[in-house]
Amino acid sequence: MEDSAIIELFFARSEQAIKELDHKYGTICHKLSYNILNSAQDAEECVNDAYLGTWNAIPPSRPSPLLAFLCKIVRNLSLSRYYTNTAAKRNSKYNVVLEELENCLASPHTVETEIEEKELIQLIEDFLKTLSVQNRVIFLRRYWFSDNYAEIAEKMNISEKNVSVRLTRLRKQMRRYFKEKGVEI
């Protein structure tokens, strides 16, 4: 079913909208949440909460694209659950992903004190636009979807070593890009 038809089901307040949303995007949402939480039960709860959040947001919202809208809700809920679950302990899988980017963003003068959040988002978007499509996909698969190297390698039809090398180079490239734009790292 097309996204526009699913959105129309939401506007009609038909419960079929949730079923169609789950049928079309459920696997992606569960994988995204699981990659962050490393728990099937927590992932299931976050995805269900995301469906409820989508139900409450549509209407009045008419998201385009629907998948990005849904994934953002799933990711935000999963991150909230992750921080709750790991308040006193470490979840190694997602912490590894965060630590890889930490050197690009962390400094005594945090990015948040240097520029507003919207400017940081724009800066990251502008950086991503400088990348080739393949490097952009690799970067987003790792740092947005939290895929591991093996999953990215399989999707991109390259070796895990190639993924590792590219991500290392992309992080260095991002640090240089931020520095050129006047952001302290």
Quick one: 9 and 50 in the same domain? yes
146 pLDDT tier (thresholds 50, 70, 90): confident
Quick one: 51 and 71 in the same domain? yes
Quick one: 102 and 176 in the same domain? yes
Residue 77: inside a domain = yes
Quick one: 78 and 106 in the same domain? no
* pLDDT tens string 40-89: 999 999 999 999 999 999 989 899 889 999 999 999 999 889 888 876 56
- Return the pLDDT at 122: 83
The pair of three-digit structure tokens given for residue 62, joined into one six-digit string: 């008419």
**Contact 124/139 with Cβ under 8 angstroms?**
no
Domain count, the chain: 2
Domain boundary residue, one of 85, 114, 143: 85
Domain with 68 in it? 3-85
CA distance 160 to 153: 5
The pair of three-digit structure tokens given for residue 96, joined into one six-digit string: 């590894």
Quick one: 19 and 54 in the same domain? yes
Instruction: Give residue 126's identity as a one-letter amino acid code.
Output: D
Going by C-alpha positions, the residue among 117, 73, 40, 133 that lies closest to residue 141 is: 133
Domain boundary residue, one of 39, 68, 85: 85
- Return the pLDDT at 120: 77
Evaluate if residue 114 carries a pLDDT over 50: no
Q: Determine the angle formed by the axes of helices 149-156 and 160-180, rounding to 10 degrees.
A: 100
Quick one: 101 and 63 in the same domain? no
Residue 163: inside a domain = yes
Quick one: 106 and 128 in the same domain? yes
115 pLDDT tier (thresholds 50, 70, 90): very low
Residue 185: inside a domain = no
Q: Which tops the pLDDT comparison, 122 or 116?
A: 122
**Cα–chain center distance at 4:** 23
Distances from the Cα of 38 to the Cα of 34, 42, 60, 102, 132, angstroms: 5, 8, 33, 21, 30
**Residue 145, SS3?**
coil
Quick one: 175 and 96 in the same domain? yes
The CATH number covering residue 141 comes to: 1.10.10.10
Domain boundary residue, one of 35, 64, 85: 85
- Return the pLDDT at 88: 54
Quick one: 54 and 128 in the same domain? no
Q: Which tops the pLDDT comparison, 133 or 93?
A: 133
Going by C-alpha positions, the residue among 7, 24, 14, 15 that lies closest to residue 58 is: 7
Quick one: 77 and 152 in the same domain? no
Residue 70: inside a domain = yes
For the whole model, what pTM was predicted? 0.67
Quick one: 111 and 65 in the same domain? no
Quick one: 173 and 96 in the same domain? yes
